[in-house]
Amino acid sequence: MTKEIDLQLSELANGAIQEKLNGELEKVFANIHDPNTSATAKRGVTIKLEFKPDENRQVVTVSSDFAVKVAPVEGVSTTVLTGKDIATGKVEAHELKSAVPGQTYIDPDDGQVKTDVGVPVDVVEKEMQKNQQVIDLQKKRG
C-alpha cells in the first residue's frame, strides 16, 4: 500500500459522484437564469462524503450526499377590488387592471377600452341599458 492518497472525485464510484454533482450544478445554473429569482442571491452545492471503515480499518465505504441551495422564486403582488353587489348582495372580488379604482384603460393586448377590472366598457354599457327602465312621462294613465 502506498502512503499517498489517490482519490479523484471525478473517478469515485465509477464517476457517479461527478455525475450527480453535474446534475446539481445544472439546477444551480437554471436557477441563476430564472427571471423569477433574485439575480444576485447566492447559490451553493454542498457535497458531504462520509467514510465508514470496517473493523480492521482496511476497507472503507464512502457515501456521498448532495445539498443544493438555490434562490427562491420571488413572489408577486396585485391589487384586488372587493365589495357587495347592490342588487344581489353577493360579495364580489376582481383584480384591479387599471392603475386607479374607477379609472378605465386601454388594454394593450386587444386595444379595447376596459373598466378598472378588465371588462370591456361597451359590454358594461349594454348591460346597463338592458337593466335600465325608461319611464315615459308623456304616456297617459288609463
Global pTM exceeds 0.85: no
Q: Where are the beta strands (DSSP E) in 5-132?
A: 44-53, 60-69, 80-84, 91-95, 105-106, 113-114
Query: What's the pLDDT tens digit per position in 75-98?
Result: 989 888 899 988 889 999 988 887
Measured on CA atoms in the order 118, 119, 120, 125, is the torsion positive or negative? negative
Q: Does pLDDT of 142 surpass 80?
A: no
Q: Where are the domains of the chain?
A: 12-69, 80-131
**What is the per-residue pLDDT for 1?**
58
- Residues 6 or more apart whose CB falls under 8 angstroms from that of 137 comprise none
Looking at residue 140, what is its pLDDT?
66
Question: H or E element: which one contains 129?
Answer: helix 121-131
Please report where in the chains the cell 455525475 appears, as a residue.
Answer: 19
